[in-house]
Amino acid sequence: MGNRPASASLESPQDPAGSGLLGRLHLDVPLLLGLLVLCAFGLVVLYSASNQDLGSVKRQLVRLGLALGLMFALAQVHPARLRSWTPPVYGLGLLMLVAVLLVGDVGKGAQRWLDLGFMRFQPSELLKLAVPMMVAWLFAARPLPPSLLRVLGAAALTLVPVLLIAKQPDLGTAILVAAAGAAGLFIGGLSWRLIMAIAAAGASMAPLLWYNMRDYQRQRVLTFLDPESDPLGTGYHIIQSQIAIGSGGAFGKGWLNGTQSHLEFLPERHTDFILAVIGEELGLVGILALLALYLFIIYRGLSIAANASDSYGRVLAGGLSLVFFVYVFVNTGMVIGLLPVVGVPLPLVSYGGTSMVTLMAGFGMLMAVQTHRKAFQF
């Protein structure tokens, strides 16, 4: 599984990331390597998915540079400081979410953007980081496992932004933020009995959720259940992406040679549906290699969580790692027809900047938790 037993690290005299140049720069070498390989893979696929538009690849590279810069900067911040920043960051995020509902720009029928004059900003992205930070902050104040009161508090701190984001409406981001809160609760030691109760309650709440969904969201769920019912509307995405992946076979049609992708059967092929291009051109082998990379990164994150020196670091690292997993699962599940279509990109591979910057910021915090560990203990 990759993570060492917790007790071993207590006695371990040597911090694995403490030596060498990268260690002094507070970079976690295995995590950094995994991320760089993943991003390189993403750029190669993007070149094909964008119809060999070098311009798109260059723009993505610039964003990647920015994202890596932010990751590096956050890796330098001591977790104790992150912890003290948590309530203001969370409060600011919440304020901006309210602002976006009042004065935000409307893009593609949803209100998500806040125009700050010099740049456009999507506040919901900040909450993907602020919610796990806040849950960690709340749980770290008292020894784990959390009391019922704290569990309810964490649930409320998660649900308020989730509802605000769902109202924009941005279902994809709402799911990710909810997952961030839930991951924090789970890692923090929410009792198994409560987990079962919540699962049961969730199942019974499903009809309520259904009535609160927008038409297009309901349509997506219906289409997911039976894509053939609407082969030209929303089902088109699902059918075409499955044809692309299925026709790729074990070894794919070859890089740049996907007919589904290049004959323009596949919509959104360089953004949310880029996995279909990978499946078509690089085959099962290509996708499994990608999943292995993701698995490696997630495990490294969980291992950092297990070995962290305090509850704040543990809950934060666990929450961030599991959000990354939810990204991967929701996107791959949607492209291969396991889950309904929601707007969640394939992390660090899909074209687009906002999610990349937030994800890398999260990995920066993970590295901070890992590399500042020793100094914090004394």
**Chain centroid to CA 115:** 24
Size of the site for other proteins (CB under 8 A): 69
Nearest Cα residue to 291 out of 277, 307, 278 = 278
Binders in 268-297 for other proteins, by CB under 8 A: 279, 283-284, 287-288, 291, 294-295
Least spacing, CB of residue 21 vs other proteins, in Å: 29
* Residues 47-66 as x/- pattern, contact with other proteins by CB under 8 A: ----xxx-x-----------
CB-CB contact of 222 with 14 (8 Å): no
Question: What whole-number distance in Å separates Cα of residue 293 and Cα of residue 288?
Answer: 9
Closest approach of other proteins to the CB of residue 231, in Å:
7
Which residue from 181, 188, 227, 364 is in contact with other proteins, where contact means CB under 8 A? 188
Local structure of residue 50 (DSSP, 8 states): T
Q: Which is nearer to other proteins, 85 or 265 (CB)?
A: 265
Strands (E) in 231-343, as ranges, are none
Per CB under 8 A, 159 contacts other proteins: no
Return the number of other C-beta atoms located less than 10 Å from residue 206's C-beta: 8
3-state secondary structure of 245: helix
Site for other proteins contains 109 (CB under 8 A): no
Contact mark string toward other proteins, 327..366, x via CB under 8 A: -xx--xx--xxx----------------------------
Phi, then psi, of 120 in degrees rounded to 5: -100, 140
Closest approach, Cβ 344 to other proteins, in A, equals: 14
Rounded CA gap, 226 and 213, in Å?
18
299 binds other proteins (CB under 8 A): yes
The per-residue DSSP string of 53-105 comes to: -HHHHHHHHHHHHHHHHHHHHHHTS-HHHHHHHHHHHHHHHHHHHHHHHHHPE
Tell me phi and psi for residue 114, to 5 degrees: -115, 125
Residues 131-143: b if buried by 16+ CB within 10 A, e if exposed: bbbbbbbbbbeee
Check binding of 219 to other proteins (CB under 8 A). no
Q: Does the footprint of other proteins cover residue 265 (CB under 8 A)? A: yes
Q: Cβ closer to other proteins: 58 or 81?
A: 58
**Residue among 205 and 288 whose Cβ is closer to other proteins:** 288
Out of 128, 150, 262, 373, the residue judged to bind other proteins by CB under 8 A: 262
The upper half-sphere exposure of residue 299, i.e. CA atoms within 13 Å in the direction of its Cβ, equals 12
By CB under 8 A, name the one of 32, 133, 165, 305 that touches other proteins: 305
Helix (H, G, I), strand (E, B) or coil at 113: strand
The residue among 93 and 347 lying less far from other proteins, judged by its C-beta, is 347
- Which one of 325, 327, 351, 363 is in contact with other proteins (CB under 8 A)? 325
Site string for other proteins, 230-249 (x = CB under 8 A): -xx---x---x-xxxxxxxx
Taking each helix axis from N to C end, the angle separating 354-371 and 79-103, rounded to the nearest 10 degrees, works out to 160
CB of 138 to other proteins, least distance (A): 15
Enumerate binding residues for other proteins (CB under 8 A).
1-3, 5-7, 10, 51-53, 55, 143-145, 183, 186-189, 231-232, 236, 240, 242-250, 256, 259-260, 262-265, 267, 279, 283-284, 287-288, 291, 294-295, 298-299, 302-303, 305-306, 308, 311, 314-315, 318, 321-322, 325, 328-329, 332-333, 336-338
